[in-house]
């Protein structure tokens, strides 16, 4: 069992971009990172959702976030270069990149899977993350310890019937993270890790398991310690690793006064 308690201003002065920040786990991560002092770039496709998250952060008195509407289905290399230029102009660097946005696609046997849906899922879940990472590498390199996180799933390590392109896309994202982690390990201060959130109470989970009682699953807020640990300086030097967010899960407190920094691995 792993335990991590974030110091109060863990992410102070950090510039962190989160994809899919308008809903679910991305929304929770955006609010949590702001609470811990980061300036967060809220990237997603539905402007109203991003604005709602912006309002929550502003009302709470955390640092002012930035909104960057972008649809990963259609964004081109030029769009990602523009994103990099805007961030360069505004912030001059990027300290954290959380690849969180994904789509589920169809839950159906491969023999019946629509090729169009397959291409879309692979594009949003894998190719878009590749294109964005590539464009943002110079900005990540400008940070003194940048953290890149890719989001996987249980079906990204063990294939499961009917999970189709989603499962395959998560295998691919794990592969991409491993490749990038090796490439950056001795050549830069960028670390690259993978988070499997595990069953979490979001729209995607409800879409995948429509008959399930959502109350059985952890909330996005409760799985935040793994994100905090990997986005903050305590994980410096940790790269190429896969984390199960449920192992560090805990109910969030409103505010923490603790200056504890007790990331420990112990056997349970
Ligand atoms: P979610 O509630 O469906 O949220 C996904 C987010 O991605 C939404 O904000 C969505 O925006 C955004 N998004 C989707 N397509 C996009 C596009 N084309 N361009 C830009 N943004 C886009 O999902 P979640 O459960 O929070 O999942 C977050 C991550 O965790 C995903 O990578 C998922 O695979 C992974 N995961 C989740 C679970 C779970 O149980 N929830 C388990 C394992 C892994 P809109 O809301 O505007 O569509």
Of the candidates 97, 196, 205, 198, which has an alpha carbon nearest to the alpha carbon of residue 141?
97
What is the C-alpha separation between 99 and 177, in angstroms, rounded?
11
Q: For residue 7, what are the contacts with CB-CB under 8 A and spacing of at least 6?
A: 258, 259, 260, 261
With a 6 Å cutoff on the Cβ, whether 207 touches ligand 1 is no
What is the C-alpha separation between 28 and 247, in angstroms, rounded?
18
Q: Say what the pLDDT of residue 64 is.
A: 94
Structure confidence by residue, pLDDT tens digits, 213-251: 999 999 999 999 999 999 999 999 999 999 999 999 998
Q: Report how far ligand 1's centroid is from the alpha carbon of 111 (Å).
A: 25
> How would you class 105 by CB atoms within 10 Å of its CB: exposed for 0-12, middle for 13-18, buried for 19 or more?
buried
With a 6 Å cutoff on the Cβ, whether 74 touches ligand 1 is no
How is residue 8 written in tokens?
A: 């109060």
Element (H, E) at 30: helix 24-35
What is the C-alpha separation between 126 and 236, in angstroms, rounded?
25
With a 6 Å cutoff on the Cβ, whether 25 touches ligand 1 is yes
Q: Report how far ligand 1's centroid is from the alpha carbon of 20 (Å).
A: 6
With a 6 Å cutoff on the Cβ, whether 96 touches ligand 1 is no
Q: Report how far ligand 1's centroid is from the alpha carbon of 82 (Å).
A: 23
- Helix ranges (H only) for 36-157 are 47-59, 77-90, 115-122, 128-142
What is the C-alpha separation between 153 and 90, in angstroms, rounded?
33
pTM summary value: 0.94
Nearest atom in ligand 1 to 74's CA:
18
Q: For residue 22, what are the contacts with CB-CB under 8 A and spacing of at least 6?
A: 42, 44, 45, 46, 49, 50, 52, 53
Q: For residue 89, what are the contacts with CB-CB under 8 A and spacing of at least 6?
A: none
Looking at ligand 1, which residue's alpha carbon is closest to its atom 37?
197
E strands in the chain: 2-3, 15-19, 39-44, 66-69, 96-99, 147-151, 191-196, 242-244, 264-265
Q: Report how far ligand 1's centroid is from the alpha carbon of 2 (Å).
A: 25
Q: Say what the pLDDT of residue 254 is.
A: 54
Q: Which residues does the chain have with pLDDT short of 50?
A: 1, 255-268
Q: Which fold has domain 15-248?
A: Rossmann fold (3.40.50)
**SS3 at position 43:** strand
Looking at ligand 1, which residue's alpha carbon is closest to its atom 47?
46
Residue 243 dihedral angles phi and psi, to the nearest 5°:
-115, 140
With a 6 Å cutoff on the Cβ, whether 143 touches ligand 1 is no
How is residue 212 written in tokens?
A: 């399930």
Residue 132 and residue 80 in contact, taking contact as beta carbons nearer than 8 Å: yes
Side-chain-facing half-sphere of 210: CA atoms under 13 Å: 2
């Amino acid at each position: 069992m792993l335990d991590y308690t974030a110091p109060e201003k863990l992410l102070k002065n950090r510039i962190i971009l989160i994809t899919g920040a308008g809903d679910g786990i991305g929304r929770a991560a955006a609010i949590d990172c702001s609470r811990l002092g980061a300036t967060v770039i809220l990237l997603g496709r539905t402007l109203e959702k991003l604005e709602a998250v912006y309002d929550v952060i502003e009302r709470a008195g955390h640092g002012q976030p930035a909104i960057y509407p972008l649809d990963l289905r259609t964004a081109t290399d030029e769009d990602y270069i523009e994103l990099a230029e805007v961030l360069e102009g505004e912030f001059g660097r990027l300290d954290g990149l959380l690849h969180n946005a994904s789509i589920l696609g169809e839950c159906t046997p491969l023999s019946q899977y629509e090729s169009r849906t397959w291409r879309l899922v692979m594009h949003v879940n894998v190719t878009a993350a590749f294109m964005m990472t590539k464009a943002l590498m110079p900005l990540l390199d400008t940070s003194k310890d940048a953290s890149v996180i890719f989001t996987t799933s249980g079906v990204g390590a063990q294939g499961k019937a009917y999970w189709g392109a989603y499962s395959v896309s998560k295998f691919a994202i794990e592969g991409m993270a491993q490749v990038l982690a090796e490439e950056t390990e001795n050549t830069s201060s960028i670390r690259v890790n993978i988070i499997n959130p595990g069953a979490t109470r979001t729209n995607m989970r409800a879409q995948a398991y429509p008959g399930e009682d959502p109350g059985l699953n952890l909330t996005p807020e409760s799985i935040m310690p793994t994100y905090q640990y990997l986005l903050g300086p305590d994980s410096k030097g940790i790269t190429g690793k896969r984390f199960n967010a449920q192992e560090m899960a805990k109910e969030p407190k409103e505010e923490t006064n603790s200056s504890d920094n007790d990331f420990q691995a112990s056997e349970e």
